[in-house]
Structure 1
């Protein structure tokens, strides 16, 4: 922020003695403030008022011979650097015209703004390099706008609107600094000035200009004198040279306290030194994500990431590359890019719909439809078809879409161990759990779940409600290892999510609410019964007729518009959601003994 221009208002403090005025100029010439000017009032009683005016005699005493003004202005220009004149009457404008090249600014009181004589005299002068300050004391905003329009015609270098008036002295409550933001908003292209006449014996007389400058005033006009005690006139609000120096110093410091920077280097260093950094609460394993509940916050001299930086890394799909000890800060080197894969569990064994994995659904084996759909999942590097080591499942290797899908044979009954075998074989960190009988699992839902999973720092993420078969589940491979270790062998591993959901003290679980247009809990999108096969046959035939891919929104569109297709398997429900005996058995069997 640039320090404001400080205009020394001499007014009538000289009492009509030009030598007194020169002495004041010399005294102010010793000031060191960087942006300063001095203002004079070269008035004439005859052009300022009629003889019947009560102050006419006083004005006569204040007149300084016209011949002296040139010398005074020259001396002030040399000593202070900038000279302003009050445009109080035609005498002032005459002195202005005679010294135009030496004068930097003109100030007009609000009582002069409708003086056509003064306006006409000013119009004859080139003001293109002058500042024209219009005092607007007593003016409402609409009247100010009219005055600005009137004086723009003079084409001054710049126009400033000045608040404040002289009341010998002016009461603090009448300063009305609240006008400053109003004027800045109403006239954003104009400078705002302050004419301050608070009692100079009050210390606030040197504080009020600071407030005005902080509010946006770029010009501060302040009465000055050599000695208030001996000033014949206008001394009540006038600062003495030592006080002027103090004000100048404070205005300089005030300007320095504002800056174009939003953050100072020292401020940033302070935060860096004192910030309470995320510290690992009780240890984290390789392959985990970091959540808020994993952390404490402490000051430390060891380098470490902020929570925002940790979250930024995880939102870009990074995972812990190494274990972290308790009370350790988290650093960038603790992370690496995660290998995200869709692992599709599938077997030929099926009692309700034999060999369903290779059954044709509208001309394409069902497992291939599932795998093609999984290849559309975002952020996924690898898709793996994970089957068992039994001979009958070997045929599935022929359905890996020409090698675009990886193949893995593992545990026949323990699905978790089978998943872990596939993950170890292909160095996978985060698994999108899918099954070969969910042909239309949604890439859009998968995208939402993956982003939520990494952002939350979860071990496991799933939707709260879905069309059965439309949404996958997201596991960190490290969480699958924990299930295997803590369970001592997951007997019901095909229900692997139950081992997480029934042991929330051991896992960070993140539930996601989907957008309403992706949720249809009354539609069944899984292949397990002959009725499901009929539904899928009709669904894919209709999608083909519409020339649409099997995107979930398209699928929902078909089933919404063709309820007879949805009705083909509408009476079938998920057994593990409806069988009370199985639900009770799973709740007990999937709890860890150590819990």
Structure 2
């Protein structure tokens, strides 16, 4: 909230004496007021002789020249000049001194004078409007008219104006109500008995409740009991009120969080601490961290864990150690398409065309379509027979890495190093219809789990890959290298659950069709793909699983073309037994 604008209401405390008027202006300045407010009127323009206070108005009258000198004195003292205008004479004086007047006030008693309002609107000044005692329907009508005639800022001034004012008539709760109802700034102008302790405190309460302008009567000596003395504060009391208001401003503050408060929070808040020892390259997730207080200034804050994690450890982090930004990084992910040309059942199957485009290119296009936009690497061997595969860069969208012909784990590690990746998604090149949607789901689940290896429990054959954390591949190769059955890499993870954290993912039921075979090992597989891609007229673009699924569900006879083909690693029980035994790593002595 902005600082309170404090206006010293001189009103008629000058008693018609220009000398006393000058003293009041200087007293207001010394007391810390931001501005003074005068009342301009001429007795004959304001009342007729039969009015009970007509003679008083004569006694209080100050001429134009004296007012001009008073305005100059106020401006020289650094005060704003605000004016109550009651009649045509006051309008005329305002016209003469317009450039030195900062704002106007319409007291509650003159709001009924439409001619006066029309005369004042041309001055385009900020406007205080006394609204005490007006019903809301009356205020609605008056404000509608005033808003349509005045262009400057409008402040509605709350505060009981009668004498004597009882403390319980202050009704400060209306400040927030008026502010909300009319969407205007609200001020406070009260007439509390100046001898009451609340006379100094009420404006402070009003400010804390939302009043941005405080208007208060000032007098040189209340004991003299001159005009408007009842609620007027002496200069000393006025200064005390201003001091309390300034302290209230300090206490109220603003919506901004203070630097000292933020610093305390940073120093005392919980930090992210390793729950266990973390290896370089290991994925850090909420499962292997905890939250504790730490004096390490740059340790990651617990409140940011949901935004920052998962991350990869870039260095060894002992257990119970605060984790700093320099020891972690965001994981980089790549997709490794593992492919060779050594197939005996369907020779050089990766180069066989499906509706005019090689099968390996179909696979690569689908990998490039994974929503995360990950780098795709074709991983083949360094043997001459596999060299034709190195041409499939798809206009340099795909990187090609050659390596160990037999050790798939070592080849995947070469892919990770070439791509500077921390996580590798393995796709086999004999799956031309690999699903971009399913790969993205497996990546997302892998990141959340912090696993070493993520796979789908059940799937449609040929549509999914699996996900490895590179650190786990290094650990596996360090444990057993060379791997005797590297082609069946996932078995090393399945059969060693104490060494590796495995994450089995349930795919959405609509994606799981075990009766379909969408991999390519036999001629019947190739014929099925050719029929599908021709029917859908799939050119050089990815084929998403949703489109493929809709077609096969509409043409169930298609899936019969390759049904019944044996899957070696699943259906050959002797091979499965051999694989399980060979890939179960023996504990080191």
Normalised-by-shorter TM-score class: 0.7 to 0.9
User: Aligned equivalents of 2:230 and 2:58: distance in 1?
Assistant: 21
Determine which of 391, 397, 415 is the counterpart of 1:401.
391
Cα deviation digits, residues 13-32 of structure 1 (max 9, x gap) = 56777766555434323223
Cα distance, 1:118–1:500 mapped onto 2, change above 3 Å: same
| Aligned counterpart, 2:275 | 281
1:323 corresponding residue in structure 2: 316
Q: Which shows bigger deviation, 253-262 or 64-73?
A: 253-262
CA distance in 1, matches of 2:22, 2:469: 85
Match of 2:396 in 1: none
Greater shift, 74-83 or 497-506, is seen at 497-506
| Distance in 1, Cα, partners of 2:191 & 2:497 | 71
| Offset at residue 470 of structure 1 (A) | 2.4
Matched residues in 2 for 1:503 and 1:48: separation?
104
Secondary structure in structure 1 of the residue aligned to 2:156: strand
Q: Please tell me the root mean square deviation across aligned C-alpha atoms, in Å.
A: 5.0
Distance 2:563 2:541 in 1: 23
Contact 1:356 1:366 in 2 (8 A): no
* 1:305-347 alpha-carbon deviations (Å, 9 max, x no partner): 44687877778xx743322233433344434676644333456
Pick one of 154, 164, 171 that aligns with 1:175. 171
- Residue aligning to 2:233: 239
Q: Deviations over 1:145-194 (max 9, x none)?
A: 5434433565565433323332432545753445446546744xx65433
Which stretch of structure 1 is more off in the superposition, 515-524 or 5-14? 515-524
| Maintained 8 Å contact 2:25/2:36 | no
- 1:162 correspondence with 2:157: yes
Structure 2 residue matching 1:29: 3-state secondary structure = helix
Q: Structure 1 523/306 Cα, relative in aligned 2: closer, same or farther at 3 Å?
A: farther
Alignment match of 1:537 (pick from 508, 517, 530):
530
Q: Is the 8 A contact 1:180 1:212 kept in 2?
A: no
Distance 1:385 1:72, change over 3 A: closer
Matched-pair contact (CA < 8 Å) for 1:340–1:379: no
Of residues 268-277 and 416-425 in structure 1, the stretch that sits farther from structure 2 once superposed is 416-425
Does 2:359 align with 1:360? no
Q: Cα offset for 1:244?
A: 2.1
Residue 480 (structure 1) aligns with:
473
Q: Matched residues in 1 for 2:456 and 2:495: separation?
A: 16
The 3 A distance-change label for structure 1 pair 118 and 221 is: same
Structure 2 Cα separation of the partners of residues 547 and 381 of structure 1: 19
1:318-357 equivalence runs, <5 A: 319-335=312-328, 340-346=333-339, 355=347, 357=349
Deviation at 1:203, TM superposition (A): 5.4
Secondary structure at the aligned position of 2:82 is classed as strand
- Change in CA separation of 1:283 and 1:72 when aligned onto 2, cut-off 3 Å: same
Q: Which whole-Å CA distance do the structure 1 matches of 2:151 and 2:298 have between them?
A: 58
Shift of 1:247: 3.0
TM-aligned CA deviation for residue 432 of structure 1: 0.8
Give a deviation string over 1:444-472, Cα, whole Å, max 9, x none: 54445546655775544456775443232
Q: Pick the aligned partner of 2:432 from 431, 436, 439.
A: 439
Maintained 8 Å contact 2:165/2:192: yes
Contact 2:36–2:82 under 8 Å retained in 1: yes
Aligned-pair CA distance for 1:195? 2.2
Q: Distance in 1 between matches of 2:172 and 2:211?
A: 13
Counterpart-to-counterpart distance in 1, 2:194 and 2:510:
71
CA distance in 1, matches of 2:233, 2:578: 91
Question: How far is the alpha carbon of 1:278 from its aligned partner?
Answer: 1.9
Alpha-carbon separation, structure 2, partners of 1:581 and 1:449: 30
Query: 2 CA distance for matches of 1:262 and 1:152?
Result: 32
1:137-156 aligned within 5 A: 137-139=132-134, 143-151=138-146, 155=150
Post-superposition CA distance 1:254-276 (Å, at most 9, x none): 55667888454444444443343
TM-score (norm. length: structure 2): 0.76
Segments of structure 2 that go 5 or more residues without pairing to the other structure are 394-398
In the TM superposition, what are the counterparts of 1:34-433 in structure 2 within 5 Å?
35-40=34-39, 42=41, 44=43, 47=46, 57=52, 60-61=55-56, 64-67=59-62, 70-71=65-66, 74-75=69-70, 77-79=72-74, 81-89=79-87, 93=91, 96=94, 102-119=100-117, 122=120, 127-128=123-124, 130-139=125-134, 143-151=138-146, 155=150, 157-167=152-162, 168-169=164-165, 171=167, 174-180=170-176, 183=179, 186-187=182-183, 191-198=185-192, 200=194, 205-210=199-204, 212-213=206-207, 217-228=211-222, 231=225, 234-235=228-229, 237-255=231-249, 262-297=256-291, 298-306=293-301, 319-335=312-328, 340-346=333-339, 355=347, 357-358=349-350, 360=352, 362=354, 366-367=359-360, 369-371=362-364, 373-374=366-367, 379-381=373-375, 383-386=377-380, 395-401=385-391, 405-411=400-406, 416=409, 419-420=412-413, 429-433=422-426
Judging changes above 3 Å, is the alpha-carbon distance between structure 1 residues 176 and 292 closer, same or farther for their aligned structure 2 residues?
same
User: Structure 1's 250 and 386: CA in aligned 2 closer, same or farther, altered over 3 A?
Assistant: farther
Per-residue displacement from partner, 1:372-424 (whole Å, max 9, x unpaired)? 5445555544524356x9xxx97444334357532333546xx5566457657
Contact 1:408 1:422 in 2 (8 A): no
Any idea what SS the aligned residue of 2:38 has?
strand
Q: What whole-Å deviation, never above 9, does each CA across 1:70-103 have from its counterpart, x for those lacking one?
A: 5366336514533333234556556656755554
Between the aligned partners of 2:93 and 2:565, the Cα distance in structure 1 is 102
Whether the 8 Å CA contact 1:200–1:238 is kept in 2: the answer is yes
Q: Is the 8 A contact 2:285 2:450 kept in 1?
A: yes
Unaligned runs of 5+ in 1: none
* Contact 2:334–2:419 under 8 Å retained in 1: no
1-side partners of 2:47 and 2:504: how far apart? Answer: 82
SS at match of 1:434: strand
